[in-house]
Structure 1
Amino acid sequence: MKFTKLQSVGNDFVLLDPQGEEQDWPKLALHMCHRHFGAGADGLMLILPSEKADFRMRIFNADGSEAEICGNGLRCLIHYIAVNKLLGNLDELSIETLAGMRHAQIFKDGRIRTTMGKPMFEAHQIPVAAEPDPKHYNGQLISDFPLNINNRRVLVSLVSMGNPHAIHFCTKPVEEFPLGEVGSQVEIHKAFPKRTNFEVANILDTEHIKCGFGNEG
Structure 2
Amino acid sequence: MKFVKAHACGNDFLVIEETVARGRHAAMARKLCARNTGIGADGIEFLDRRADGSLFLRLFNADGSEAELSGNGTRCVAAWLAASEGRESVTLGTHGGLRTCRVVERNGAQWWIESGMGVPRVMPRSIEIDGVTGVIEGAMVNVGNPHYVIFVDNDEFRSHGMSWQELGAKISVDPLFKFGTNVEFVRVHKANEIAFRIYERGCGPTTSSGTGTCASSAASMVLKNVARELTAVAQGGSQYVTWPANDAEMMLTGPAEIVCTGEAEFGE
TM class, shorter-length: 0.7 to 0.9
Q: Secondary structure at the match of 1:84?
A: helix
Question: Hey, what does 1:136 align to over in structure 2?
Answer: none
Question: Hey, what does 2:176 align to over in structure 1?
Answer: 191
Give, in angstroms, the shift of residue 152 of structure 1: 4.0
Pairing 1:166–2:151 present:
no
Give, in angstroms, the shift of residue 37 of structure 1: 2.0
Equivalent residue letter for 1:189: D
Call closer, same or farther: CA 1:167–1:213 in 2, change over 3 Å.
same
8 A Cα contact 1:180 1:214, kept in partner: yes
Question: Hey, what does 2:80 align to over in structure 1?
Answer: 80
Pairing 1:99–2:79 present:
no
Pairing 1:13–2:10 present:
no
Q: Secondary structure at the match of 1:189?
A: coil
Gaps of 5+ in 1: 122-140
Question: Hey, what does 1:128 align to over in structure 2?
Answer: none
Give, in angstroms, the shift of residue 166 of structure 1: 0.6
Question: Deviation digits for residues 107-129 of structure 1, max 9, x if unmatched?
Answer: 343321111111124xxxxxxxx
Alignment of 1:1-217 (within 5 A): 1-19=1-19, 21-50=21-50, 54-85=54-85, 88=86, 90-109=87-106, 110-121=111-122, 141-143=123-125, 145-148=126-129, 150-153=131-134, 154-174=136-156, 176=158, 178-217=163-202
Q: How many residues align?
A: 194
Task: Tell me whether 45-54 or 181-190 shows the greater mean CA deviation.
Answer: 45-54
Give, in angstroms, the shift of residue 208 of structure 1: 0.9
Q: Secondary structure at the match of 2:81?
A: helix
8 A Cα contact 1:54 1:93, kept in partner: no
Give, in angstroms, the shift of residue 156 of structure 1: 2.6
8 A Cα contact 1:174 1:201, kept in partner: no
Q: TM-score, normalised by structure 1?
A: 0.81
8 A Cα contact 2:6 2:12, kept in partner: yes
Task: Tell me whether 72-81 or 45-54 shows the greater mean CA deviation.
Answer: 45-54
8 A Cα contact 1:42 1:215, kept in partner: no
Could you say what the CA RMSD is over the residues aligned between the two structures, in angstroms? 2.0
For 2:89 and 2:55, the matched residues in 1 are separated by 12
Greater share of residues in strand? 2
The one of the two structures with greater contact order (alpha-carbon pairs below 8 A, sep at least 6) is 2
For 1:31 and 1:64, the matched residues in 2 are separated by 9
Gaps of 5+ in 2: 203-268
Give, in angstroms, the shift of residue 146 of structure 1: 2.2
Call closer, same or farther: CA 1:53–1:67 in 2, change over 3 Å.
farther
8 A Cα contact 2:150 2:184, kept in partner: yes
Equivalent residue letter for 1:28: M
Question: Deviation digits for residues 128-176 of structure 1, max 9, x if unmatched?
Answer: xxxxxxxxxxxxx224x22325334433311111100111110111455
Call closer, same or farther: CA 1:108–1:41 in 2, change over 3 Å.
closer
